[in-house]
């Protein structure tokens, strides 16, 4: 490096010779996907454009090396990431016990919604038919709730949630914008279904029997 610095200071640096050496090293070290870019650099004679192209390709080679390193370490990262995240999460909870109060309330409400028995309708069937379990028996023998069921109910509640509410679950703050978009899409779908239901009740089979209308409706929805 000192020799190159002295040659540059005295104007004796052979840029083309040095760049050829650099290109040969790049051709040996680069990924196969960069071979074409390195070959194109060999045809450039202008020193300024040549150096600019070399630095651009070197930047891409650096990203290739980063991606390769991440891919090679991915199995090890996945093996230990769960334990690491769980330990760090527990450490935060130990320091701030109230860190997940809103999340706990959200999941508790979802579980309560699942355990609530649906309203019973008066039985109009014949008295000789086999009677099902009474509400008291169903309450005494509740079906155990799985975590998946509680989570599904919780996310369903979020679609009807006031997203401006301060009690939004802490673990979903990063997904708040995405949930807001899903809520907007749900409202649009509800309005569209309501309009179609009203149109169907008024027009009957005249409108929905038209192939052109059905095709247009499919494209819109």
So what's the pLDDT on residue 30?
A: 86
Q: Is residue 126 part of a domain?
A: no
Residues 51 and 157 in one domain: no
Report the helix count and the strand count for the chain, using DSSP H and E.
10, 0
Residues 87 and 169 in one domain: no
**What pLDDT, in 10s, does the model give residues 38-76?**
888 888 888 788 888 989 999 999 999 999 888 888 888
Q: Say what the pTM is.
A: 0.48
How many domains would you assign to the chain? Answer: 2
Over 70: is that where the pLDDT of 178 sits? yes
Q: Is residue 119 part of a domain?
A: no
Q: Is residue 158 part of a domain?
A: yes
Q: Within 13 Å and on the Cβ side, how many CA atoms surround 119?
A: 2
Q: Is residue 125 part of a domain?
A: no
Scan for tokens 């010779």, then name that residue.
17
Residues 106 and 77 in one domain: no
pLDDT band for position 197 (cuts 50, 70, 90): confident
Residues 159 and 207 in one domain: yes
Residues 148 and 79 in one domain: no
Over 50: is that where the pLDDT of 9 sits? yes
Its domain, for residue 157, covers 100-114+143-220
Rounded to an integer, what distance in angstroms lies between the CA atom of residue 66 and that of residue 195? 53
Over 60: is that where the pLDDT of 121 sits? no
Rounded to an integer, what distance in angstroms lies between the CA atom of residue 170 and that of residue 100? 6
Which secondary structure element, helix H or strand E, spans residue 125, and what is its range? Answer: none
Rounded to an integer, what distance in angstroms lies between the CA atom of residue 173 and that of residue 171? 6
Q: Is residue 31 part of a domain?
A: yes
Residues 108 and 204 in one domain: yes
Residues 86 and 108 in one domain: no
Residues 73 and 160 in one domain: no
Residues 198 and 110 in one domain: yes
Q: Is residue 6 part of a domain?
A: yes
Last residue of a domain, one of 28, 57, 92: 92
Rounded to an integer, what distance in angstroms lies between the CA atom of residue 25 and that of residue 137? 79
Residues 82 and 108 in one domain: no
pLDDT (mean) for 116-128: 51
Q: Is residue 134 part of a domain?
A: no
Residues 40 and 79 in one domain: yes
Q: Is residue 184 part of a domain?
A: yes
Residues 43 and 106 in one domain: no
């Amino acid at each position: 490096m000192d020799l190159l610095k002295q040659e540059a200071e005295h104007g004796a640096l052979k840029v083309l010779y040095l760049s050829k050496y650099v290109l040969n090293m790049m051709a040996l070290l680069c990924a196969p996907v960069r071979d074409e870019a390195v070959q194109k650099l060999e045809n450039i004679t202008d020193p300024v454009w040549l150096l600019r192209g070399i630095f651009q390709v070197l930047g891409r080679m650096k990203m290739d090396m980063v991606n390769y390193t991440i891919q090679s370490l991915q199995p090890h990262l996945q093996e230990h990431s769960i334990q690491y995240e769980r330990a760090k999460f527990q450490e935060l909870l130990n320091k701030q016990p109230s860190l997940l109060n809103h999340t706990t309330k959200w999941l508790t409400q979802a579980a309560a919604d699942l355990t609530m028995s649906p309203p019973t309708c008066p039985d109009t069937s014949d008295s000789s038919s086999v009677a099902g379990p009474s509400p008291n028996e169903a309450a005494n023998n509740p079906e155990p709730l799985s975590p998946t069921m509680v989570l599904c109910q919780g996310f369903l509640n979020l679609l009807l949630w006031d997203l401006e509410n301060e009690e939004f679950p802490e673990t979903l703050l990063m997904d708040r914008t995405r949930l807001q978009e899903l809520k907007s899409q749900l409202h649009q779908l509800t309005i569209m279904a309501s309009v179609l239901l009203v149109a169907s009740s008024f027009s009957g089979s005249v409108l929905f029997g038209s192939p052109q209308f059905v095709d247009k409706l499919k494209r819109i929805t």
